[in-house]
């Protein structure tokens, strides 16, 4: 949080009242100003991913040559998940349409999404989580879509193995070596844990030793902890909680199979 308001308020309070109490009053007023500015910025940042997200989604849907009805439904479902108000929804539709345009420069949307995550991998994984329903909306994953998703992953610092893990946790994954996803147009349930390979979920091989399995589990739980998200839409927090349960379930399965605690 900025301290400019407190400093300016303290100085003005000292000049006006010419005593320490006046300076304290001014500093308190300045503190409230700093707090309001900070909250406004947090609120703006919480929604700032929506525009580039739907612009990228539009480009992603168009990357195989046409935008299908299934992809449009997936985009609308995402708007509903995020509980966008009418103005935000209208803006999301506009950006989706912009992304479909042949002249759209997708790297600009990628750069905005990267800036929004600020290097935070938990936010990067949430972006991928939101996009994967659109990626797999038609069932079979087109090569152009996979290439575009991988470009975003590269920008966000997410490996192919981690992309496979996120896909597996959503019940998708033939292109990544994971389980067969839902049928075309069918959305995976977010209330159940997909029967994914637990080793894929943790991003490890079956040959991994117990210490490496535990390390991978702790790292993933740290990255996906909902409390670290800050001010983001409730849907994203719910999804992070769901993913944390999926990671934990995968770890418990491996522990049971391996017989370690």
Is 72 found in the same domain as 41? no
pLDDT of 185 reads 43
pLDDT tens digits along 44-56: 444 478 899 999 9
* 83 shares its domain with 172: yes
Helices (H), the chain: 4-17, 20-47, 50-62, 69-81, 86-100, 106-117, 121-135, 143-156, 160-169, 198-202, 210-223, 234-258
Range of the domain at 98: 48-258
First to last CA, the chain: 42
Residues 6+ apart with CB under 8 A from 96: 54, 55, 57, 58, 61, 75
User: What is the model's pLDDT at position 43?
Assistant: 39
User: Are 113 and 146 within one domain?
Assistant: yes
Contact between 183 and 173 under an 8 Å Cβ cutoff? The reply is no
Give φ, ψ of 94 to 5 degrees: -60, -45
Same domain, 19 and 59: no
Report d(CA 112, CA 103) in Å as an integer.
18
What average pLDDT does this structure show over 210-218? 88
Number of domains, the chain: 2
Query: Do both 58 and 33 map to the same domain?
Result: no
Residues 124 and 10 in one domain: no
Do residue 8 and residue 132 come from a single domain? no
Helices (H), 121-188: 121-135, 143-156, 160-169
Round to whole Å and give the CA distance between 72 and 78.
10
Q: 129 and 22 in one domain?
A: no
pLDDT tens-digit map of 225-258: 766 666 666 666 777 777 788 888 888 889 888 8
Do residue 59 and residue 75 come from a single domain? yes
Question: By mean pLDDT, which of 46-55, 78-87, 183-192 is the weakest?
Answer: 183-192
Residues 131 and 248 in one domain: yes
pTM: 0.60
Q: Indicate whether 36 and 56 sit together in one domain.
A: no
Judgement on whether residues 152 and 193 belong to the same structural domain of the protein: yes
185 dihedral zone (left: phi>0; alpha: psi -120 to 50; beta)? left
Tens digit of each residue's pLDDT (9 = 90 or more) over 128-167: 888 888 888 887 777 888 889 999 999 999 888 788 877 8
Whether 204 and 216 have beta carbons less than 8 Å apart is answered as yes
Say yes or no to pLDDT of 127 above 60: yes
């Amino acid at each position: 949080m900025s301290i400019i308001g407190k400093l300016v308020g303290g100085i003005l309070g000292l000049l006006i009242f010419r005593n320490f109490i006046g300076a304290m009053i001014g500093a308190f007023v300045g503190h409230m100003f700093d707090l309001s500015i900070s909250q406004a910025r947090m609120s703006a940042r919480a929604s700032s991913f929506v525009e580039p997200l739907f612009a990228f989604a539009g480009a992603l849907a168009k990357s195989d040559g046409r935008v299908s009805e299934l992809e449009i439904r997936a985009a609308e479902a995402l708007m509903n998940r995020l509980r966008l108000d009418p103005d935000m929804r209208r803006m999301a539709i506009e950006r989706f349409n912009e992304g479909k345009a042949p002249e759209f420069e997708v790297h600009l949307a990628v750069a905005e999404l990267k800036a929004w995550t600020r290097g935070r991998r938990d936010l990067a994984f949430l972006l991928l989580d939101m996009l994967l329903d659109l990626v797999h909306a038609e069932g079979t994953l087109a090569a152009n879509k996979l290439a575009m998703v991988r470009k975003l992953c590269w920008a966000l610092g997410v490996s192919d193995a981690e992309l496979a893990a996120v896909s597996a946790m959503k019940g998708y994954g033939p292109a990544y070596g994971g389980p067969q996803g839902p049928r075309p147009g069918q959305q995976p349930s977010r209330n159940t844990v997909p029967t994914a390979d637990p080793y894929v979920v943790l991003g490890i091989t079956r040959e991994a030793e117990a210490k490496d399995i535990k390390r991978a589990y702790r790292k993933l739980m740290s990255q996906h902890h909902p409390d670290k998200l800050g001010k983001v839409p409730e849907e994203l927090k719910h999804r992070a909680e769901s993913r944390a349960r999926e990671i934990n379930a995968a770890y418990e399965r491996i522990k049971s199979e391996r017989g370690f605690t």
